Chain A
Amino acid sequence: MVKILDIIKDHNKAPMFDGVKKIAKKDLTPPNKNKNAKQYKDLQELVKAANIKDGDVISFHHHLRNGDFVLEKVMTEIQKLGVKDLTLAPSAIFPTHKILVDLIEKGIVTKIITAYLSGPVAQAVSEGKLKYPAYMHSHGARARMIENKELEIDHTFIAAPTMDSQNNIDGTTGPSACGVIAYPAADAMYAKNVYAITDNKIDGTSSKADIKGNLIDGYVILDKIGDPSKIVSGTTKITTDPIGLIIAKQAVEFIKHSGEFKNGLCFQTGAGGMSLAVAKFMADEMKKQNIKGKYALGGITKYIVDMMKDGLFEYLLDTQCFDLDAVKSVGINKEHRRISSSLYASPLNKDAAVDGLTFVVLGATEIDLDFNVNVLTSSDGVIMGGSGGHADTSAGAKFTIIVSKLFSSRIVLIKDKVSCITTPGETVDVLVTEYGMAINPKHKELIASLKSKGLNIKTIKELKEIADNECGVPANLEYEDKVIALSEYRDGTIIDKLKKIK
């Protein structure tokens, strides 16, 4: 088995992507743990006791999003130890994690393994400041690599909105409530040392636990683990952009005529304004046609919660709450179910929810003529995101629907080749834009059927020509030789390498 750290150190030895292949499911039994967590008086004491050494692998989860205080506080203490050459494996990195820029520049952090990279850290990595290429993966792949022991975590620090008297962690209550805590489930089960950081230790037991208390080695209580205003959105909103609404309506037209718009459908969409508009229009259509779905998955927002309340889905499978309504719902609705990232999307998990999806609606910063998608960089080649659940849901869903404007302020969506592939084109089924939709040529019969129903079908080449005529053909990016990021496909192969922009 190839270890992730070995690939990062010498990416020329990495197994390269060679087409989407069936991934054999594995029965993975986590180690038996029955810890009795020790309370530390402060972070300094906890970090000292952790015995962190040069080269250790340290992880965090990103459920507190840009309101997270924990990563910065922990790394501030770790920096005082004088250790170096650490590998950081947070499930995502946001602008609030800017302390890492300094740690990268000082060689304290030399490797980053994550599903999403944004803000100053993304900029620093794009500038080539990280000693080794950043290892970018999907959410499901993160669960895979931890459970399959391709990545062994030495220390995981879990931000815990609430810890009860049995040290169980619940993310739906407390002043820093964030909803479901899904991403560190694998970390908690497999990491050598598991620490919880909370600002809400309660007496009694919580009725639901995201992370069981018997997995925790130690914990500390802080005044605040996060800024609630930046943890979840007050409200997520449907786009009011008329072009976004047109695209969303067209996406639902595709869904309606796909042949799979029927009872029992399973659905995931994003939290952006256009994706929410798709959810709204789809809900309207489901009500009109009296269609009841089985589950909605995600990334849950108020709109998805409302769809369940309106009887359009039997239940929700939640891996992350995007707004306060979702947080509230998962705490009180029986059919709003929490799942770990492994159950969400691990390619090794036979029960992975992505494998049951009928439709997934996703975005893209770039797409090429083979339908390969880039969600890692913007069109200037600078890192601004990552796969998240993109590659996982695309692989699992019957229909992967990319919604995007064809161009915006002269920046075109469709390229001959994308700057960096995150999702392979063979898992992408349709691109919906305001100028029409391009369906993957593998769906010959569907293309003919949709054309006969009057949908605005174009080839992806035709859409590219429209954009190029309007905006001009963009100049190609120029790169240096240094590889600054590896884009892993969810099967563990490297699908692309991103080089530093000149």
Chain B
Amino acid sequence: MNARTFQFIPGNNPSMLQSSQLLGADAIIIDLEDSVSIDEKDSARKLVQKHVEELKNKQCMVGVRINPTDSKFWEDDLAITNKLNLDFILVPKASVDSLKQIKTKINKDVDIIVLIESANSLLDIKNILAFDQQIKAALFGAEDYAADMNIVRTSKGNEIEWARNYFVINCVAQNKLAIDTPFTDSDDFEGLRNDTLYVKSIGFKSRSCVNPRHIDTIHEVLNPTLEEYKEAKEIVELNEQFKKEGKGVFSYKGKMVDLPIVKRCLAIIDICETRGLY
């Protein structure tokens, strides 16, 4: 799974659903959980079903956040989503136990993204990610995590620094996409940029958003730069030459280049070229 942005769209909002494909996100998460009130769960399900069934000109990945297994809605959610051609299901309040329940009902062909949003689930992330091959990514829900921890969220994010690091390390270790929490200040674009630069520096390749105006900024930060792209291409070309000479390691601008670096460069080239960035 490879997406820079996951945009949340309330499943009970027809006009937002209608325009969701135009927002420029790499993926949209149609939400049946927090943004839909209890008395609208059933109508939202019908709306989402209709929307996905009639979706033409799909521009990005489409997934649904179902309700958690400690609610009375999740099974009806899955009964609908199993009929739909979706790219993923986002499972909130993910735990090994909840995933065991989900696995009994969920379509086997759809990818699962787990939402890690409590102290317990963060500490058990290794087991959660390893639970099943259907799990392709994890999303860090910092707001609910902070509520569970009884701590205050700040724009600087010091209070979730350790959690973010622990989260992304576990995702990378198990080759799952790590998706960071949304930046919740709608109008602070400088804050968004700085925060995204930080999470990029610790290993995140992806971020969720609740405000579509954040998508472009997140993409600008997470995209490889033109210099990185050019450098990646040079390294890959040099690697091909040295391989022919039987050399698996070589020096580039004074630094050692071996297989992990080459793989990283190939990933950069792939991102840039499949997205037509440069």
Residues of A within 8 A of B (CB): 240, 242-243, 245-246, 408-409, 434-435, 469-470
Contacts and interface: CB of A to CB of B under 8 A. Distances in A.
Contact of A434 (B22, B56, B186, B213): B22
A242 B23 contact: yes
Contact of A243 (B19, B56, B186): B19
Nearest to A240: B213
Contacts of A243: 19, 22
B133 interface: no
A242 B15 CA distance: 12
B18 interface: yes
A242 B213 contact: yes
Nearest to B22: A434
A242 B212 contact: yes
Interface string B142-163: 0000000000000000000000
A244 B213 CA distance: 11
B184 to A, nearest CB: 15
Closest 5 CB pairs of A and B: A242-B212, A434-B22, A243-B19, A242-B213, A242-B23
Contacts of B212: 242
B213 A470 contact: no
B24 interface: yes
Contacts of B19: 242-243, 434
A408 B22 CA distance: 14
Interface in B24-40: 24
Given A242-B212, A409-B15, 8 more contacts: A240-B186, A242-B19, A242-B213, A243-B19, A246-B22, A246-B23, A246-B24, A470-B18
Interface residues of B, number: 10
Contacts, number: 19
Contacts of B56: 469
Interface in B158-206: 186
B213 A435 contact: no
A224 to B, nearest CB: 36
Nearest to B187: A240
B217 to A, nearest CB: 12
19 contacts: A240-B186, A240-B213, A242-B19, A242-B23, A242-B212, A242-B213, A243-B19, A243-B22, A245-B213, A246-B22, A246-B23, A246-B24, A408-B15, A409-B15, A434-B19, A434-B22, A435-B22, A469-B56, A470-B18
Interface string B56-72: 10000000000000000
A242 B24 CA distance: 10
B37 to A, nearest CB: 21
A340 to B, nearest CB: 39
Contacts of B213: 240, 242, 245
A469 B212 CA distance: 25
Which of A242, A408, A435 has the largest count of B CB atoms less than 10 A from its CB? Answer: A242
A466 to B, nearest CB: 8
A409 B56 CA distance: 18
A242 B19 CA distance: 9
A274 to B, nearest CB: 14
A433 to B, nearest CB: 10
A470 to B, nearest CB: 7
B262 to A, nearest CB: 31
Nearest to B14: A409
Nearest to A243: B19
Nearest to A409: B15
Interface string B6-26: 000000000100110011100
B88 to A, nearest CB: 22
A408 B15 CA distance: 8
B108 to A, nearest CB: 33
A408 B18 CA distance: 10
Contacts of A242: 19, 23, 212-213
Nearest to B7: A242
A178 to B, nearest CB: 30
Nearest to B19: A243
Interface string B37-60: 000000000000000000010000
Contacts of A469: 56
A469 B19 CA distance: 14
